[in-house]
Amino acid sequence: MIQGPASLPTALQRARGAARIAVRAEDGKTCLARLYQDGCGKIRLPRDHSALGLEAVLINSSGGLTDGDRLTWDAEVGPGARLTLTTQACEKVYRARAGQAETAVTLDLGEGASLDWLPQETILFDGGALARRLEADLAADARLLAVEAVVLGREAMGESVRHGRLADRWRIRREGRLVFADDLRLEGAITDLAAKACVLAGARAFASMLLVADDAERFLPAVRAALGPRGGASAFDGKLFARVAAADGFVLRQTLLPALEALRDGRPLPRVWRA
């Protein structure tokens, strides 16, 4: 009987997904211009979107991410168009054997365009590893709202994240000039790191929010009131940035809902956020 080398590792299938959407303004409404999907990256367009803009729901049909998986999402919003991007469900990052999962988001906004990047929470499981990148290029008077929320295991399921890795990189440019940059990293003994007062003070969930708009400063009082004592926000030079920590994913969601609705100037959030 002929046997192969016992030392060769088993090659596991890895997920690959890419999706791109482009929208344009036409007769006072936002219309689909282009749509591309490949692999596990899918986009669906609910029929009940408002006349003020178009809503797109992003789907990772692989059911989660682990080491070696790659996802890319690209959106182009033409002059005067409005687009809201969200996800069908929370993204789950499972234990990695080696390496990490990677996601990349690229957003391009034309003159007078508006884009809300509102994915649901990312759930990091014990041993999970994720490198995430968000890049956006805005025209002079474009408006961008972005949020990323993370839950360190589901408390109701008795989960904890003893070790793992999360690297989150944001780069926002207006007319090619860098106007906002942020790098967040949790790596190693995440439970111990999260317990430190200077990190999360024992919180199991947190979120970052950014609004880039000419009138961003006017939303500061409402956002601070919504976030409460476990959040902080500042506004400067046409930008508002906030972070908030919470005991668990449920409390985080209840905190984010009024904060994001304030930043959307009263417009309701996508239905998937309230399902």
Tokens representing residue 60 in the block: 């990772």
Residue 214: helix, strand or coil by DSSP?
coil
- The Cα–Cα gap between 81 and 28 comes to 9
What does the pLDDT profile of the chain (275 residues) look like in tens digits?
445 455 545 667 788 999 999 999 999 899 999 999 999 999 999 986 555 789 999 999 998 999 999 999 999 999 999 999 999 999 999 999 889 999 999 999 999 999 999 999 999 999 999 999 999 999 999 999 999 999 998 766 667 788 999 999 999 999 999 999 999 999 999 989 999 999 999 999 999 999 999 999 999 999 999 999 999 999 999 999 999 999 999 999 999 999 999 999 989 999 999 87
- What are the pLDDT digits (tens) for 151-197? 998 766 667 788 999 999 999 999 999 999 999 999 999 989 999 99
Beta strand spans in 119-236 (E): 122-124, 129-138, 143-152, 164-174, 177-188, 205-212, 231-236
- Burial class of residue 194 (count of CB atoms within 10 Å of its CB; 0-12, 13-18, 19+): buried
pTM value surpassing 0.85: yes
Taking a C-beta distance cutoff of 8 angstroms, is the pair 190, 161 a contact? yes
Tokens representing residue 9 in the block: 């590792």
Which DSSP state fits 197?
T
Q: 27-42 burial string, b = 16+ CB within 10 Å, else e?
A: eeebeeeeeebebbbe
